Structure 1
Amino acid sequence: MLTVHHLGISQSDRIVWLCEELGIPYQLKRYDRDPQTRLAPADYRALTPFGTAPVIDDGDLVLGESGAIVEYIAQTYGNGRLILRHGAPGYADFLFWFHFANGSFMPAALIDSMLSRMDASNNGSADGVTTALRARFDRAWDLIEDRLGHVPYLAGDDFTAADIMILFPLTTMRLFSRRDIGPYPHIRAYLQRIGARPALQRAMQKAEPGLDLQRVLA
């Protein structure tokens, strides 16, 4: 059986959610972060050579990386559902946003989180590089806000795996990289649409039982 190795408060939320959206059987194995370092425990890091979340195993296969896992599960167990095919309306938009989530948005969020910690230790001082890196993160939010002002979901009219990929940096990642989403009305409306999905609610109850979903959506 497909096993999802879920690290608490991490991008592996996506994989649990995908399985719930597709309605496929899976086994969930949950790991808590180290209470001191807030990093993954040693047994989780040992699952793959790079040692990061998410991870699945399926028979002899052990696979990491969110995008790879989403594609594998959707194609292997979901008959390609939530993945747009070449020639489908919104195909190019789907490709862009599916890869933007981890290719550009998550790195910018991680950099912003680290810069915030550095600023705290440097009494808030910032140089030109810091300012440029923070501006990159701002542009990512502005780009998403603009897109959602024209369509209900990232690929267009229909919910896809691109929306599953983008949710973590829009929500749970803000526990690490604080951001006021008040200035982003289209993102706020989008998060409420996404948050109403029963599959997401089931996934978060299983993956993050101690986390208030509405807290990360607001």
Structure 2
Amino acid sequence: MITVHHLDDSRSQRVLWMLEELGVPYEIQHYKRDPKTMLAPVELRRVHPLGKVPVITDDGVTVAESGAILEYLVERYGQERWRPAAGTPDALRFTYWMHYAEGSATPPLLVKLILDRIREAPMPFIAKPIARRIADQVEQAYVEPNVSRMLDFMEGELALRTWFAGDEISAADVQMSFPIEAAAQRFALDRHPKLRAFLQRIHARPAYRRAIERGGPYRYA
């Protein structure tokens, strides 16, 4: 039996969705964030040294990192589904988007989250305007230009094909769901109708809804 080590409002939601799509039985080990730091609890270090999610255990095997977990699940349980045939252009796109999601799309969104928390953090009155000014400058100089290019790029790709790797949904779309959901929360997608349509399609999938029912509240949906 697969065990998913799951944290609310985290990347592990993608793993639950993938398992629901594959129809593979699994159980969930729930963890709660530290209410002050919002970080994962130290108990997770017993599962994996980094103490982060997602992590799964399956027949004595421990697999961490979203992309690695999704590829493991598709390879072992996918029965030739959820990834394009090897050697095709779609397969190359599949590999690209599986890596792009965390390698390029997520970092500026994470910086945005950190800057927002800096603005909201308690600090001496005299320091607050300085901290906010620095956060604003970093966001304007780095985050906003990078996110704008990223969203335009992804919008253009979805204008060429229905899904990220081709005209059939794949694990690459599961992997890409989290950064696009996070972008929708932190930036308006008013100029990106294809990305909004992508989110509408995945959120309407029965397997996606089942994953939320089992995993618990997920504010990015």
Same fold (TM over 0.5): yes
**Higher Rg:** 2
> Aligned partners of 2:64 and 2:79: how far apart in 1?
21
User: Paired residue for 2:201?
Assistant: 193
TM-score, normalised by the number of residues in structure 1: 0.87
Q: Please identify, of 117-126 and 27-36, the stretch whose mean Cα deviation from structure 2 is larger.
A: 117-126
Task: Look up the SS of the partner of 1:36 in the other structure.
Answer: coil
Tell whether 2:168 aligns with 1:150: no
Tell whether 2:146 aligns with 1:136: yes
> Aligned partners of 1:14 and 1:129: how far apart in 2?
27
User: Paired residue for 2:123?
Assistant: none
Q: Is the 8 A contact 2:6 2:54 kept in 1?
A: yes
Q: 126, 132, 154: which one pairs with 1:123?
A: 132
Q: Deviations along 1:70-123, whole A, 9 cap, x unmatched?
A: 111111122242122322351221111111101111122112222333456523
CA displacement at 1:128 relative to structure 2: 6.8
Q: Deviations along 1:129-160, whole A, 9 cap, x unmatched?
A: 96134322221111111111222111121100
Q: Which amino acid aligns with 1:167?
A: S
User: Paired residue for 1:179?
Assistant: 187
User: Paired residue for 2:66?
Assistant: 66
Q: Please identify, of 192-201 and 130-139, the stretch whose mean Cα deviation from structure 2 is larger.
A: 130-139
What are the ranges of 5 or more consecutive residues in structure 2 without an aligned counterpart?
Answer: 121-127
Q: Is the 8 A contact 1:11 1:168 kept in 2?
A: yes
CA displacement at 1:28 relative to structure 2: 1.6
Aligned identity (percent) is 37
User: Paired residue for 1:23?
Assistant: 23
Q: Is the 8 A contact 1:97 1:154 kept in 2?
A: yes
> Aligned partners of 1:96 and 1:69: how far apart in 2?
16
CA displacement at 1:57 relative to structure 2: 0.5
Q: Is the 8 A contact 2:112 2:139 kept in 1?
A: no
Q: Please identify, of 110-119 and 155-164, the stretch whose mean Cα deviation from structure 2 is larger.
A: 110-119
More helix by share: 2
Q: Measured at CA, do residues 96 and 78 of structure 1 come closer, stay the same or move farther in structure 2, by a change above 3 Å?
A: same
TM-score, normalised by the number of residues in structure 2: 0.86
Q: Measured at CA, do residues 194 and 128 of structure 1 come closer, stay the same or move farther in structure 2, by a change above 3 Å?
A: closer
